[in-house]
């Protein structure tokens, strides 16, 4: 309910009560008091007529003194206005007061009111003989006075109601108008118009004081906004200056970073080059072994065929095909030759498929080299494009890159990654980070155990808004005095041919470039080492609430 309506209700409440009481009083006067007064006047007139009519003997003897005494007794009531005694002939025997002007006739045996008077008349009879008549008039001023008071009370009640309504409306207007002005003013303030003011010339002193303080507060806010605008202009100028200075520093930093970038690129290029070299060695060894085995089988078959053909020609060759094979098998020699040739063809097909896979691996590693070289050429962190990638796929590819080194050193690599785990970054950079960590673990295990084998584990899971990848090994661990310097450039415990000291520093820089972090999780001499990679999850990543799926990849 609006304030104006509430004030009107509160103001008109007493008026309604007063009006109700006035109406009740008027009703009581009209329904109870007025009939009572009229009835009293009628009964008084009737009783007076009867008392005078009872003086029949005095009327018969024309004893005026008796009527005079009786009238004097009645005259105690000041409302008595007229008394007249008439004989049987209608002549006046006695009169008191003045006859009412409009009283042309008096009713016989009844009481009648006429213009302010109560009129009554009765015949005097003695033993059936009419002696005369008595007439009487009482003033009805009490009734008129009561009617006048009823009109006055009605008028006063009406005036009080009108005055109360006027005062209530005026009060509601006086209270609500300043408040409405303040509300309109605050709407303008909400729109941002702080230059206006509330007019507080009317209303109670409290309203004027409230309007005054509201104007003061608005003025203060307006002045503060002006000051903030000036400060914002200064800040924009300063930011522009800082931006220009930053651009100059970036240009200088790029020139200064060429040496570091060259060292980083040389270190990172060596990783895929080493992978390519290892895979090429494996390919050459496998091809050489397969070639020797296949060539031996073909040479043996051709030698037998050539020997039979030289001894007896084509007939000797055909007859030799039907000779049973040596050993327990009763089949002819020709079937064994066909089987060996089929195995030779299958071997060639298997070698071709494996060769295709190896070529794909080599192309990926060459792509990594191209990616790193492009990054150095543009003197930026990397030239890749960030996208959403499945962590499990990236970890499998990283393990596959180092597969040859793991087999050579009898190292087992296993992956445990939650299903549907996505990160938003450059795929090559995450591969670069994980392969750096695994290569360090591989070399540490080799230095500690030679070719006795070892284990490298990759565990990935979602924690809050981050994706955590734990790369751990069962190598020799890191000495306490070396831990503070792990991520410093050019720090290494290996020879210059095995390491440059840039791998961990570059890996941490790449991870922090995507608002993540790389840190040493744990390391204990003789137990192993674990590094923790923390990466922000991809915005569109959907994580399953079921148990994580585990994938073990043995190298």
**Residue 27, domain CATH:** 3.30.450.20
10 shares its domain with 156 = yes
User: Could you read off the pLDDT tens digit of each residue along the chain, which spans 555 residues?
Assistant: 565 566 666 666 777 777 777 788 778 877 888 788 888 888 888 888 888 888 877 877 888 888 888 888 888 888 888 888 888 887 888 888 888 766 666 666 667 776 778 888 888 887 778 888 888 888 887 777 877 888 888 888 788 778 877 777 777 666 666 677 777 777 777 777 777 776 655 555 666 677 777 777 777 887 888 888 888 889 988 888 898 888 777 666 655 544 555 555 555 666 676 667 676 776 766 666 655 566 666 777 777 777 766 777 766 666 666 666 565 556 666 666 666 666 666 666 666 667 677 677 776 777 767 766 665 554 444 445 788 899 999 999 999 888 888 888 889 999 999 888 999 888 888 998 999 999 999 888 888 876 568 899 999 999 888 999 999 999 899 989 988 888 887 677 665 555 555 678 888 988 998 899 999 999 999 899 999 999 998 875 544 433 344 344 334
Contact 64, 94 (CB under 8 A): yes
19 shares its domain with 149 = yes
Write down which residue in 334, 351, 377 finishes a domain.
377
pLDDT, position 458: 95
153 shares its domain with 205 = no
CATH of the domain at 504: 3.30.565.10
> Is 185 within the bounds of a domain?
no
Q: Sign of torsion, CA 494 498 501 504?
A: negative
* Max CA distance (Å), the chain: 208
> Is 548 within the bounds of a domain?
no
Contact 86, 132 (CB under 8 A): yes
406 shares its domain with 479 = yes
80 shares its domain with 115 = yes
367 shares its domain with 431 = no
Tokens of 431: 């591969």
> Is 188 within the bounds of a domain?
no
How far is residue 168's CA from residue 160's CA, in Å, rounded to a whole number? 12
- Among all chains, which residue has been given the structure tokens 């009283």? 103
> Is 220 within the bounds of a domain?
yes
DSSP state of 484: G
pLDDT, position 49: 81
Please tell me the total count of domains within the chain.
4
398 shares its domain with 371 = no
200 shares its domain with 236 = yes
> Is 167 within the bounds of a domain?
no
369 shares its domain with 220 = no
> Is 549 within the bounds of a domain?
no
Q: What is the pTM of this model?
A: 0.38
Write down which residue in 312, 346, 377 finishes a domain.
377
> Is 179 within the bounds of a domain?
no
CA-based nearest residue to 417, from 253, 551, 245, 254: 551
406 shares its domain with 496 = yes
User: What residues make up the domain containing 494?
Assistant: 388-536
Q: How far apart are the first and last CA of the chain?
A: 79
CA-based nearest residue to 496, from 211, 182, 263: 263
* 528-536 and 466-473 beta bridge pairing: antiparallel
DSSP string of 126-188? ETTEEEEEEEEEEE-HHHHHHHHHHHHHHHHHHHHHHHHHHHHHHHHHHHHHHHHHHHHHHHH
Write down which residue in 231, 256, 281 finishes a domain.
256
pLDDT, position 154: 83
156 shares its domain with 10 = yes
354 shares its domain with 285 = yes
pLDDT, position 196: 72
> Is 250 within the bounds of a domain?
yes
- Map residue 86 onto helix, strand or coil: strand
pLDDT, position 553: 37
pLDDT, position 139: 84
């Amino acid at each position: 309910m609006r304030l104006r309506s509430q004030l009107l209700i509160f103001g008109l409440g007493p008026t309604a009560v007063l009006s109700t009481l006035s109406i009740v009083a008027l009703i009581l006067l009209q329904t109870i008091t007025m009939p009572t007064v009229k009835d009293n006047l009628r009964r008084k007139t009737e009783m007076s007529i009867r008392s005078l009519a009872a003086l029949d003997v005095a009327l018969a003897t024309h004893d005026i003194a008796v009527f005079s005494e009786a009238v004097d007794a009645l005259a105690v009531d000041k409302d008595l206005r007229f008394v007249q005694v008439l004989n049987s002939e209608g002549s006046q025997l006695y009169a008191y007061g003045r006859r009412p002007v409009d009283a042309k006739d008096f009713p016989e045996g009844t009481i009648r009111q006429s213009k302010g008077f109560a009129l009554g008349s009765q015949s005097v009879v003695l033993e059936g003989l009419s002696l005369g008549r008595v007439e009487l008039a009482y003033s009805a001023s009490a009734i008129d006075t009561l009617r006048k008071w009823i009109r006055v009370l009605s008028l006063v009640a009406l005036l009080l109601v009108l005055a109360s309504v006027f005062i209530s409306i005026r009060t509601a207007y006086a209270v609500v108008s300043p408040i409405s002005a303040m509300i309109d003013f605050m709407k303008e303030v909400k729109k941002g118009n702080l230059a206006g003011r509330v007019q507080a010339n009317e209303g109670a002193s409290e309203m004027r004081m409230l309007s005054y303080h509201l104007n003061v507060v608005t003025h203060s806010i307006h002045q503060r906004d002006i000051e903030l605008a000036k400060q914002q202009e200064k800040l924009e100028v300063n930011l522009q200056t800082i931006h220009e200075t930053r651009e100059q520093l970036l240009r200088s930093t790029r020139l200064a970073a060429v040496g570091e970038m060259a060292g980083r690129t040389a270190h990172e290029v060596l990783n895929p080059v080493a992978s390519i070299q290892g895979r090429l060695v494996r390919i050459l060894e496998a091809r050489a072994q397969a070639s020797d085995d296949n060539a031996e089988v073909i040479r043996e078959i051709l030698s037998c065929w050539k020997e039979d053909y030289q001894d007896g020609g084509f007939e000797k060759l055909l007859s030799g095909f039907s000779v049973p094979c040596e050993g327990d098998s009763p089949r002819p020699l020709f079937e064994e030759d066909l089987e060996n040739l089929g195995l030779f063809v299958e071997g060639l097909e298997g070698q071709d498929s494996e060769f295709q896979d190896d070529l794909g691996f080599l192309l990926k590693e060459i792509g990594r080299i191209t990616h790193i070289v492009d990054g150095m050429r543009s003197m930026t962190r990397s030239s890749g494009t960030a996208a959403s990638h499945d962590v499990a796929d990236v970890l499998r590819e990283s393990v596959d890159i180092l597969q040859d080194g793991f087999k050579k050193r009898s190292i087992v690599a296993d992956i445990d990654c939650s299903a549907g785990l996505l990160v938003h970054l450059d795929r090559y950079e995450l591969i670069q980070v994980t392969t750096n960590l695994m290569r360090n673990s591989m070399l540490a295990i080799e230095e500690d155990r030679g070719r006795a084998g070892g284990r490298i584990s990759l565990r990935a899971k979602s924690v809050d808004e981050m994706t955590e990848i734990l790369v751990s090994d069962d190598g020799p661990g890191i000495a306490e005095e070396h831990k503070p310097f792990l991520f410093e450039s050019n720090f290494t415990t290996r020879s210059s041919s095995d390491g440059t000291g840039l791998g961990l520093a570059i890996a941490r820089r790449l991870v922090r470039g995507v608002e993540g972090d790389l840190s040493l999780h744990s390391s204990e001499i003789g137990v192993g080492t674990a590094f923790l990679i923390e990466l922000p999850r991809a915005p569109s990543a959907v994580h399953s609430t079921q148990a994580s799926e585990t994938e073990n990849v043995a190298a």
